[in-house]
Structure 1
């Protein structure tokens, strides 16, 4: 079993529903959806291009998946998550936009937002005592030779390269999109998520996701509201 600390909107949020319908799976309910038929993008192709984010569920990674250290239990973890949520104020990202990161698409902040960076760093630090050390295979899978010096240091210190100054909030919507399909995909996503871009995104809670076995779909275990979040 692996655990992860993610940001996700609440289960009944309209963004959660829109993303689940696009990806083909709801990580909260485990409900699945047929691939949408978009002009110029056959359902089978869309289903293939969303395979990776579908397994993980709609989210933004805050503390990447980890096995529990031998000295702690799930009950211990959840007690600290509940305490963290209760004392951490909710806030919002001023603007959410559609971004292209390399060859995949995601919903991202319109600009660097320091409260978001600080929140992510606090999550990574607060839950580090629960993380079991990485196996050599886990380190190798991250291809440390291709990482920057700071990313390699993060991998060894925190178990994940993209934390602290290397953190970039993103809610993934596709896998690797071929260059010749990029413009079409961008147009489709701009239309499908137009109701959510160009406006703030409330960071109103923190979610615990679980992966029962390596490679299994991630499921939303718990969603806890941050302090002061609107219900």
Structure 2
């Protein structure tokens, strides 16, 4: 079993529901969702090109998937995550936009957010004690030969290349695309998500995701509200 600490909007948030429909799976319920009917792209094409993010669910990675050490229990992880989340105040992330990230598309803040960068770094550091060392096979799957020196150091120190100064908040919407496919998907994603990206995003919880067995889809295990109870916004 593997765990991951992410940000994801609440289950009934309009953006979460729209993303679940686009990806074809609800990460809270684990149930399949029929992709939207979009002119110019068939349902099978959408399903094929969203297979990678569909498995991981709609989320922004803070602590990449990890296994627990033999002397650490899930209950210990949950207690620590609850305390950690409660010690950090909620905040607003600048509104998101569809961006190209290498050979795939995702949602990312229109402007950098140092509060988010600090939170992500804190999560990586705080929960490293809950991470069993990567196996040789897991290290190889990260393709270390393709990493920069900093990314390589991050992989061996923190278990993931894209942390600390290499971190960029993003919520993946596609898997790898060819250069000929990118223009159509970019146009489609901008039109589809435009109604849900008009306002800042409230970062008010940390989500624990679980992969029950190797290769299984990740699913939301629990949401952990940030900040003191009295300070939490009541929707």
- TM-score interval, smaller chain: over 0.9
Aligned-pair CA distance for 1:229: 3.6
Distance in 1 (CA, whole Å) between partners of 2:232 and 2:183 is 37
Aligned to 1:197: 197
What does residue range 52-201 of structure 1 map to in structure 2 within 5 Å? 52-201=52-201
Q: Which runs of 5+ in 2 are unaligned?
A: none
SS in 1 for 2:41: coil
What does residue range 32-71 of structure 1 map to in structure 2 within 5 Å? 32-71=32-71
Q: TM-score, normalised by structure 2?
A: 0.96
Distance in 2 (CA, whole Å) between partners of 1:71 and 1:30 is 29
Asked whether the 8 Å contact 1:67–1:131 carries over to 2, the reply is yes
Root-mean-square deviation over aligned CA pairs? 1.0
Aligned to 1:230: 233
Distance in 1 (CA, whole Å) between partners of 2:69 and 2:187 is 44
Aligned to 1:210: 210
Aligned-pair CA distance for 1:92: 1.2
CA distances 1:154-176 after superposition (whole Å, capped 9, x unpaired) = 00000000000000110001111
Distance in 2 (CA, whole Å) between partners of 1:149 and 1:53 is 27
CA distances 1:54-90 after superposition (whole Å, capped 9, x unpaired) = 0111000000000001111000000001001111111
SS in 2 for 1:154: helix
Aligned to 2:25: 25
Distance in 2 (CA, whole Å) between partners of 1:106 and 1:130 is 28
Aligned to 2:5: 5
Aligned-pair CA distance for 1:198: 4.6
SS in 2 for 1:221: strand
Distance in 2 (CA, whole Å) between partners of 1:171 and 1:134 is 24
CA distances 1:103-124 after superposition (whole Å, capped 9, x unpaired) = 2110001122111100000000
Aligned-pair CA distance for 1:195: 1.9
Distance in 1 (CA, whole Å) between partners of 2:116 and 2:143 is 27
Q: TM-score, normalised by structure 1?
A: 0.97
SS in 2 for 1:89: coil
Aligned-pair CA distance for 1:199: 2.9
Aligned-pair CA distance for 1:230: 2.1
Distance in 2 (CA, whole Å) between partners of 1:71 and 1:175 is 36
